[in-house]
Amino acid sequence: MQLQFLGATKTVTGSKYLLTTQNKKFLVDCGLFQGLKELRLRNWNEFVVDPKTIDAVIITHAHLDHSGYLPVLIKKGFSGKIYCTDCTMDLCKLLLCDCGHLLEEEANRANKYGYSKHKPALPLYTYDEACAALKQFVPVEFDQEITLENELNVTFRRAGHILGASSVLLKHQGASILFSGDLGRPHDPCIRPPEPVTQAQYLVVESTYGDRSHALVDPERELGVVINKTAKRGGTLIIPAFAVGRTQNILYYIYSLKKQNLIPDIPVFLDSPMAQNVTEILATHYQEHLPSPEVCAEVCKTAHYVSSVEESKLIDTYNYPKIIISASGMVEGGRVLHHIKYFAGDHRNTILFAGYQAIGTRGATILSGVSEVKMLGGIVKINAEVIALGDVSAHADYAELISWIRKMPTPPKKVFITHGELPAAEALKQRIESTLGWECVVPSYLDNVELEERTNN
């Protein structure tokens, strides 16, 4: 069996792994590259193999850096099935279609204001193309081994992180490989914790926070401090957040802070067209998250849902302290752009980042402390306070990663460290080598390795 790394090598986006067995080809994850332009350009490249020759795709979770390339793969001829958990399938319905919609909007805007080199600017894919991809999805239960194409055995195991997120164990003729997927934290207030690691000959592990330890602060209390400070200034708190995952955690913390009277009862606007649908998905998969259905209902009532673009613009003009939670989480698109444009110039306001900001994204640029940023075809001055709530991350830190992988009953033959910027991946490699003595590799883009087939695992 051969494994080729087609993304998430020395970076956090574009997750794609090609597994070639004697007779078939499988793709594990099919994510978009995001962030730096040199990475984003890969989304437009010829695919490394003819997508028509890929037999099936396995998706670990719904985030676009793991699923967002699917419509392109299908446009290029992939016609097989896409396997994932049912929660992931439901979330992909929202995320993929929304992504197609945003890509179209961005292309339209670029054409209208003439800020693209391409004439006309075209979207990577459209809303219709994204929605069409959903027909190829097949939902799979957690913890049940299934056989794909009479060739590859697959088991999805809970990985925490977001609803439906999984690690996948793959077996073929005595060879086994475990992909961690994005691994969540052991004590998330909303999502069930990752299931213990399973035995495999090879391990592909993420390293987003491979060089970092999450602060020992209570994120709820930290958020409370920021809300109080901003409200006292009469300002608006903007929280760019992934519509799925971080948004629900932030809402949970605000609900809890309000319940304890630790913050003023200022309005909370959830300005993401997907939010209501996500809420419905959460309600149908209540067994996958920790708060009871009753508490979930209360959490949802914490925010006012903004649906129309008109209302989204209107809330900017409300002249009182408020909280606006809006996507995208890395300020790469979505309605949060307009809110930042409106509020960033005033020092009374706060922009609070609540998740990982990949290098090259606008979120990372703002967080680096720049005084102005390019967006929506213009320059926006940043005078607002800019803060990162590192501890609400949906990714395990290095200590949590190591405590997860070290429980593998016998050491794997090799550990491949992916889904992290180079310093993070290298730091995790050194920690695994020094604490466990296991052989680790940080693969490069398009590296191809032969996985030995053995029968004792």
Judged by the rule CB under 5 A, the positions of this chain that interact with Zn ion are 63, 182
Shortest approach of Zn ion to residue 140 CB, angstroms? Answer: 18
Cβ contact 16:69 at 8 Å: yes
If phi > 0 it is left, if psi is from -120 to 50 it is alpha, else beta; for residue 160 that is left
For Zn ion, the closer CB: 244 or 275:
244
Shortest approach of Zn ion to residue 352 CB, angstroms? Answer: 20
Residue with tokens 């050194």: 430
For Zn ion, the closer CB: 159 or 227:
159
- On the 0-12 / 13-18 / 19+ scale of CB atoms within 10 A, 341 is middle
Tokens for 360?
């090259």
Shortest approach of Zn ion to residue 223 CB, angstroms? Answer: 21
Q: CB within 8 A of 188, min separation 6: which ones?
A: 160, 249, 290, 394
Shortest approach of Zn ion to residue 61 CB, angstroms? Answer: 6
Shortest approach of Zn ion to residue 162 CB, angstroms? Answer: 6
Residue nearest to Zn ion (CB): 63
For Zn ion, the closer CB: 63 or 171:
63
Cβ contact 278:247 at 8 Å: yes
For Zn ion, the closer CB: 182 or 188:
182
Shortest approach of Zn ion to residue 97 CB, angstroms? Answer: 18
Cβ contact 184:194 at 8 Å: yes
Q: What does 440-456 look like in DSSP terms, one character per residue?
A: EE-PPTT-EEEPPP-S-
- On the 0-12 / 13-18 / 19+ scale of CB atoms within 10 A, 90 is buried
For Zn ion, the closer CB: 55 or 182:
182
β-bridge mates for residue 172, sequence order: 175
**What whole-number distance in Å separates Cα of residue 89 and Cα of residue 13?**
20
For Zn ion, the closer CB: 303 or 358:
358
For Zn ion, the closer CB: 208 or 302:
208
- CB-facing half-sphere around the CA of 132: CA atoms within 13 A: 13
Within 10 Å of residue 291's Cβ, how many Cβ atoms?
18
Q: CB within 8 A of 32, min separation 6: which ones?
A: 13, 14, 43, 64, 65, 68, 69, 99, 124
For Zn ion, the closer CB: 158 or 413:
158
Q: What does 376-388 look like in DSSP terms, one character per residue?
A: TTEEEE--SEEEE
Shortest approach of Zn ion to residue 419 CB, angstroms? Answer: 9
For Zn ion, the closer CB: 161 or 258:
161
Shortest approach of Zn ion to residue 161 CB, angstroms? Answer: 6
Shortest approach of Zn ion to residue 191 CB, angstroms? Answer: 12
